[in-house]
Structure 1
């Protein structure tokens, strides 16, 4: 599957809006279409959200459907689980994904397991949105990339939109889904712009996107690393190295078929994530490649590029040094392209 490029998408009449605007539009369209959809979280009302995502939704839909909550992530998610069990479709906003620590019992032991433990008699159609990642100078307790935690839990679906169009399309699909879905939005992407359909177009969960085609190596990246990998691929192309860039989009369930196809064709793969490498999500992709026939098509060992295994520092220079940047991806890809 090949995803539309910005220029091609623009030709179809899609507007160019920011990632944050795309998220807000998805929520507004879902609320207009279904009275069961409502939003709850800290400072999402008059204030408009910690990152300005909820914006004017409070003025459009009122306090009953854009519910400002106390500072209690455990209570927020618990209320959402109960509302979902009662037939509503809540959208939880957690100010920083790091704060999900306070609500892990409700997320992991309740939302993720109730459908299974009650024999399918009920479901929990809840969406939990949370900004993650570094780059804003928010230091160690507000800058983590915890996607591997959630992807490890049976019963949770996990998505990481890397474009404005997917920020809208994946969120709409998540709201429709009868299962709890964790939507992880990178903070640095909120102000990035891209073509987004005006209509409420869904991006199906569990469909990997091929963002760029190339025959020399495959780069699989998540979140903000997708745009950095695309920038790296353009630089590498100037050197005669053509890279395929793949964006899983949905981490759980993972559509690995496009990854296997590309790696089998190029023979080389670089896995890029912001999170620390130790037991990170891309380790799952590496394991799937190593445990399949794709391994016999490799021309070089699987290479991973991850954040350092340290808490994110506050100092801007150290923060930047802790996670892969475009030059790091270029260097690793260039080296990999020469290996055999």
Structure 2
């Protein structure tokens, strides 16, 4: 708003506790709320490597950054270089290559998508390409669109609610830029439009997971 005259370099690290029975007040995945805040960048890392690299990149930002961490990912393990490196904002990563369908997975759902992809490859011969945006503002639209143009199918997997979520924005982008390449309708595997249950059995039923994702993908090939 200041035409570059003022800076607001701030990082807000926050988490969502879905899957830990913390109730509706602490568990919702709500980064889509902030996509309409001009100038605010939103990071959603899914691996230790990406978390460190994105945080280093965020430290150099002149504007505010919302850094959203999935609490269920805190115990995940992965190789992280000891030295300094950055993961640029707005650059997605293809976590797994595939030719039959694209799954754009956000935060915790990246690991679920990879599990579903391995299962489908061995049981059905379906090769799933898994794309991790790593940041949703800015969003690497090109990598997503290029993947969909190759596979012709798209599923978006995210912990946020279906209505008004990140999946809706990604889907709209693909419909605008690659609708002629689609062989099937877009599918969103998300949380239902209700508060997150507190009771662990109900919360597990509420959450998207690899099994639900696998079932959604199979329907597109039925």
Instruction: Tell whether the structures are fold-level matches, with TM greater than 0.5.
Output: yes
Distance 1:267 1:251 in 2: 22
Q: Deviations over 1:227-274 (max 9, x none)?
A: 000000000001201000000111001111111111111111111111
Q: Could you tell me which of 127, 130, 154 is aligned with 2:38?
A: 154
Greater C-alpha radius of gyration: 1
Q: Does 1:137 align with 2:21?
A: yes
Q: Could you tell me which of 138, 142, 150 is aligned with 1:253?
A: 138
* Greater RCO, CA 8 A, separation 6+: 2
Aligned residue in 2 for 1:289 = 174
On the 8 A contact 1:217/1:337 being kept in 2, the answer is no
Distance 1:248 1:337 in 2: 25
Distance 1:200 1:316 in 2: 39
User: What SS does structure 2 have at the residue aligned with 1:195?
Assistant: coil
Aligned residue in 2 for 1:215 = 99
Please list every run of at least 4 consecutive aligned residues from structure 1 whose deviation after the TM superposition is greater than 3 angstroms: none
The offset of 1:337, in angstroms, is 2.8
Aligned residue in 2 for 1:184 = 68
Aligned residue in 2 for 1:312 = 196
Aligned residue in 2 for 1:28 = none
The offset of 1:179, in angstroms, is 1.1
Aligned residue in 2 for 1:330 = 214
The offset of 1:150, in angstroms, is 1.3
Q: Could you tell me which of 242, 250, 263 is aligned with 2:127?
A: 242
Distance 2:120 2:73 in 1: 23
On the 8 A contact 1:219/1:245 being kept in 2, the answer is yes
What is the aligned length? 221
The offset of 1:119, in angstroms, is 2.9
The offset of 1:226, in angstroms, is 0.4
The offset of 1:335, in angstroms, is 1.2
Distance 2:71 2:175 in 1: 32
Q: Does 1:270 align with 2:155?
A: yes
User: What SS does structure 1 have at the residue aligned with 2:173?
Assistant: helix
On the 8 A contact 2:41/2:64 being kept in 1, the answer is yes
Distance 1:205 1:289 in 2: 20
The TM-score, its normalising length taken from structure 2, stands at 0.97
The TM-score, its normalising length taken from structure 1, stands at 0.64
Distance 1:317 1:168 in 2: 33
User: What SS does structure 2 have at the residue aligned with 1:194?
Assistant: coil
The offset of 1:172, in angstroms, is 0.6
Q: Which runs of 5+ in 2 are unaligned?
A: none
